[in-house]
């Protein structure tokens, strides 16, 4: 039985909606489901808001505000060098697989492709093979759970981002500098909205190529937000 579903795709591709639909569908079929959205602060397979401080992993979500100034430079994402970060992330995946209950099906919003790509590609400007090698290590770790990857392809990235940005005031002000000022963004001279889109376009190309190399079952949906009813029907039949 598939005990892990991971929904992947670019920002604005519909990952949260798709993950919620998968979780609800599996629950209707009698499965015990745990659906984890991104940004929870305490993800069972990811250190999304943690620091490595004095040899100890600390949840920043649980720290008093006066300690954050000291801990933020040690944040696993954004703070550590890749050589230190990568083993920590792989160990977290191993811990998740060890602790996963056989009676529970997990549904994740990203973390297999998005988070590693944001680090290896966007932050550190590692080449595609380096990203793929790290992601393949994760794939090997999670194989005992018979995982399924649902990838959401976006045809018009700029148009979709513009539409979503209108619904999220201030969002672009945060994501554009992150991409333009990161290692990959600097390498291509990315600037402003167009630079952000160029980063996303290349990320999607790399992710789809990497996905083809993974020994995991995969389902691809194109622009599901254009027809949620049709996308859900296709997905329901494939689950």
**Domain for residue 32, yes or no?**
yes
Average pLDDT, the chain: 95
Determine the Cα–Cα distance for residues 86 and 170; give it in Å rounded to an integer. Answer: 31
CATH number for position 163: 3.40.50
175 has which bridge partners? none
Say which residue the tokens 């201030």 belong to.
170
Structural domain of 217: 4-40+104-238
What is the spatial distance between Cα 159 and Cα 165, in angstroms, rounded to a whole number?
Answer: 10
pLDDT at 40 over 90: no
Rounded CA-CA distance 112/138 in Å is 7
Amino acid 119: pLDDT? 97
Bridge-based pairing of strands 148-153 and 4-9 is parallel
| Residues in Cβ contact with 26 at an 8 Å cutoff, skipping those fewer than 6 apart | 5, 33, 105, 107, 239
CA 185 from chain centre, in angstroms, equals 19
Contact 203, 117 (CB under 8 A): yes
Count the domains in the chain: 1
Which tens digits make up the pLDDT trace of 212-237?
A: 999 999 999 999 999 999 999 999 99
Q: Is residue 210 in a domain?
A: yes
Q: Rounded mean pLDDT of 164-186? A: 95
3-state secondary structure of 33: strand
Is 192 domain-assigned? yes
Confidence of residue 42 (pLDDT cuts 50, 70, 90): confident
Would you say residue 135 lies in a domain?
A: yes
Section 68-91 average pLDDT = 94
User: Angle CA(36)–CA(40)–CA(45) in degrees, nearest 5?
Assistant: 60
pLDDT of residue 83: 97
Evaluate whether residue 157 is within a structural domain. Answer: yes
The structure's pTM equals 0.95
The CA distance from 182 to 125, in Å, is 8
Residue 63 falls inside a structural domain:
no
Flag whether 65 is in a domain.
no
- Per the CB < 8 A criterion, the answer to whether 176 and 196 are in contact is yes
Closest Cα to residue 9, out of 219, 184, 232?
219
207 in any annotated domain: yes
Bridge-based pairing of strands 50-53 and 56-59 is antiparallel
What's 8's DSSP letter? E
């Amino acid at each position: 039985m598939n005990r892990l579903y991971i929904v992947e795709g670019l920002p604005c591709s519909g990952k949260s909606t798709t993950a919620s639909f998968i979780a609800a569908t599996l629950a209707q079929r009698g499965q015990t489901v745990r659906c984890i959205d991104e940004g929870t602060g305490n993800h069972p397979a990811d250190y999304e808001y943690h620091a490595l401080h004095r040899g100890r992993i600390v949840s920043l979500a649980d720290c008093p505000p006066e300690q954050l100034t000291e801990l933020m430079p040690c944040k696993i994402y954004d703070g550590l060098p890749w050589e230190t970060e990568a083993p920590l992330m792989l160990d977290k995946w191993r811990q998740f697989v060890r602790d996963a209950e056989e009676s529970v099906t997990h549904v994740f919003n990203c973390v297999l492709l998005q988070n590693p790509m944001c680090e290896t590609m966007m932050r550190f400007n590692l080449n595609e093979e380096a990203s793929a090698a790290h992601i393949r290590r994760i794939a090997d770790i999670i194989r005992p759970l018979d995982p399924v990857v649902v990838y959401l392809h976006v045809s018009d990235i700029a148009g979709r981002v513009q539409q979503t940005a209108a619904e999220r005031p201030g969002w672009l002000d945060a994501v554009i500098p992150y991409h333009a000022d990161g290692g990959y963004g600097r390498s291509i001279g990315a600037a402003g909205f167009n630079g952000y889109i160029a980063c996303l376009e290349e990320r999607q190309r790399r992710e789809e190529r990497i996905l083809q190399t993974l020994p995991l079952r995969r389902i691809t949906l194109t622009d599901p937000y254009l027809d949620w009813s049709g996308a859900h029907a296709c997905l329901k039949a494939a689950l």
